[in-house]
Amino acid sequence: MSDLLKSYRFREERQSDWAKLDQILTRAEGGGVKSLTDDQMLALPRLYRQAVSSLSVARSISLDQNVINYLESLCTRAYFFVYGARTTIGERMMLFLRKDWPAAVSGSVWNTLIAAFFFFGGWALAFFLCLQDMDWFWTFHGQNFMDARNPDATAEYLRGTIYTLEGGTGEGELSAFASFLFNNNAQIALLAFALGFAFGIPTAWLLVYNGVMIGSLYAVFWDKGLGYEFTGWLMIHGVTEISAIVLAGAAGFVIGGAVAFPGAHSRIASARLAGQRAATIAMGCVLMLIIAALLEGFGRQLINSDVVRYAIAGATLVFWLVYFYAPRKELPV
């Protein structure tokens, strides 16, 4: 009986404030924060803090579970209006594109350089080894490698794989090809990011491995006198795709560096602090891979001019460099 009386008095003393908060939240949920009056806006934080305090007391003295459930719901609803975002989804996306993503990338220059070193180091290693002895190609790709673009292919066949004959590729095939490329490259990029927690070691290995795969294939075309043509064919999409993979690797190294050198924080806390910047970079890489897949699935297959391919590759390189690293004005608060 005493517990029921205690619960009743607890609600009686505070219920009017809860009802005011509930009324404010109901109005805000129906018409947004802008629908609130000045007095309601001023009262909202105070009533929210009182409700949180009431919830804490209710839990500590084990009051009626219905009271606790009601206060938990009330506090959860109020939290999003007191601390939640004040922008629409569209505004938040524009803020991400205009500020958050480029700021995260430009703030991770050293991690990006390290990622580029591993990727292009693997590329250069495989390229020069294969030029000296094409048996290295089979070492890297395995004897069961089914792609006909290998050292045994003729120069005429290899040339035919980088130029599309008129009517040779349908729109449906290009769409499916673009989808496949996006899925494959997204898996690589996200793995490079996700594996960073293990001190960045798996990320480094994955970057080297992908560099070796591309470098050994590049050597095949170079050896047949098709280096110029293959470079244009590859770079029309490769500037964006390779940049995305390198940046995803940089995101992995951001987390790996935080775990390896946590400083004054614990390893978990350090990784959590670095995770926001790394995740921002990784999310942007997905957008880059969508663009790369479109360039690879459509532009690269439909454009046969080497000059146009190099022009597109150069334009995308300039665009990403300016986008990420050019100084920009601070956005108004």
Question: Do 23 and 170 share a domain, yes or no?
Answer: no
CA torsion angle 151 153 156 162 (round to 10): -70
Q: Give 126-160 pLDDT, tens digit per residue.
A: 999 999 999 999 998 886 666 788 898 899 988 88
Whether residue 100 has pLDDT greater than 50: yes
Question: Do 318 and 209 share a domain, yes or no?
Answer: yes
Give the pLDDT confidence score for residue 91 in this predicted structure: 74
Q: Which residue has the higher pLDDT, 276 or 309?
A: 309
Question: Do 41 and 162 share a domain, yes or no?
Answer: no
Instruction: Tell me, rounded to whole angstroms, the distance of Cα 70 from its chain centroid.
Output: 38
Helices 109-132, 227-260: inter-axial angle, 10-degree rounding:
130
Question: Do 51 and 121 share a domain, yes or no?
Answer: no
Supply the pTM of this predicted model: 0.69
Q: Give 230-239 pLDDT, tens digit per residue.
A: 999 888 888 9
Residue range(s) defining the domain that contains residue 280: 91-325
DSSP annotation of 330 reads P
Question: Do 184 and 320 share a domain, yes or no?
Answer: yes
Question: What is the rounded CA–CA span in Å between residue 305 and residue 170?
Answer: 19
User: Mean per-residue pLDDT for 70-84?
Assistant: 81
Question: What is the rounded CA–CA span in Å between residue 190 and residue 204?
Answer: 13
User: Mean per-residue pLDDT for 41-70?
Assistant: 81
* 226: confidence class by pLDDT, cuts 50, 70, 90: very high
148: helix, coil or strand? coil
Weakest-pLDDT range from 192-196, 246-250, 280-284: 192-196
Domain boundary (53, 84, 115) is at 84
Specify the number of domains making up the chain.
2
State the burial class of residue 143 (Cβ atoms within 10 Å of its Cβ: 0-12, 13-18, 19+): exposed
Q: How many CB atoms lie within 10 A of CB 276?
A: 11
Mean pLDDT score of the chain: 82
Question: What is the rounded CA–CA span in Å between residue 282 and residue 266?
Answer: 24
What percent of the chain stands above pLDDT 90?
A: 30
Give the pLDDT confidence score for residue 222 in this predicted structure: 95
Instruction: Tell me, rounded to whole angstroms, the distance of Cα 60 from its chain centroid.
Output: 42
What percent of the chain stands above pLDDT 70?
A: 84
CA distances for 272 relative to 109, 249, 259, angstroms: 20, 17, 9
* Residue 331 in domain: no
For residues 242 and 174, the answer to whether their CB atoms sit within 8 Å is: no
Question: Do 80 and 130 share a domain, yes or no?
Answer: no
Give the pLDDT confidence score for residue 218 in this predicted structure: 93
User: Mean per-residue pLDDT for 65-69?
Assistant: 79
Give the pLDDT confidence score for residue 179 in this predicted structure: 55
Whether residue 171 has pLDDT greater than 60: no
Give the pLDDT confidence score for residue 169 in this predicted structure: 46
Whether residue 39 has pLDDT greater than 50: yes
* Tokens at 259, concatenated: 């775990």
Weakest-pLDDT range from 96-110, 119-133, 179-193, 310-324: 179-193
Question: Do 144 and 75 share a domain, yes or no?
Answer: no
Q: Which residue has the higher pLDDT, 184 or 218?
A: 218
For residues 220 and 151, the answer to whether their CB atoms sit within 8 Å is: yes
Give the pLDDT confidence score for residue 223 in this predicted structure: 93
